[in-house]
C-alpha cells in the first residue's frame, strides 16, 4: 500500500483525534483552574447582600399589602352602609 494512502486513512485521523482530545483537555483544565482561583467569597458576599435587599423589599411589599387590605375593609364597610341607606330610602319612598 502506498505511503500516502496509509497516512490519509490511518495516521491523519489519529493525529486529528489526539490533537482534539489534548485541546479539549487543556481547555477544560484551564477553565477549571480559572474558576477555582476566582474569589467565591466576593460572590457569596454579593449574593448575601442581594438576598438581604430582597428580604427588605418583601417586607415593604407585605406592609403595603396589609395597609391596602385595611383600606379595602374600610371601603367595603362604607359601601355596605351606603347600600343599606339607599335600600332603606327606596323602601320608604314605596310606602
pLDDT digits (tens, 9 = 90+) for 21-33: 999 999 999 988 8
DSSP state of 39: -
- Cell numbers for 36: 477555582
pTM: 0.43
- Cell numbers for 29: 483544565
* pLDDT at residue 81, as a whole number: 94
Cell 359601601, residue located: 79
* pLDDT at residue 88, as a whole number: 87
Cα angle, residue 45 at apex, residues 44 and 48 outer, rounded to 5°: 85
Cell 496509509, residue located: 6
Mean pLDDT of 3-28: 82
Amino acid at each position: 500500500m502506498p505511503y500516502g494512502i496509509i497516512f490519509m486513512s490511518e495516521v491523519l485521523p489519529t493525529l486529528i483525534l489526539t490533537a482534539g482530545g489534548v485541546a479539549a483537555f487543556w481547555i477544560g483544565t484551564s477553565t477549571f483552574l480559572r474558576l477555582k482561583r476566582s474569589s467565591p467569597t466576593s460572590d457569596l458576599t454579593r449574593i448575601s447582600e442581594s438576598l438581604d435587599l430582597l428580604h427588605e423589599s418583601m417586607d415593604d411589599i407585605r406592609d403595603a399589602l396589609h395597609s391596602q387590605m385595611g383600606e379595602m375593609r374600610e371601603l367595603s364597610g362604607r359601601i355596605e352602609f351606603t347600600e343599606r341607606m339607599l335600600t332603606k330610602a327606596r323602601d320608604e319612598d314605596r310606602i
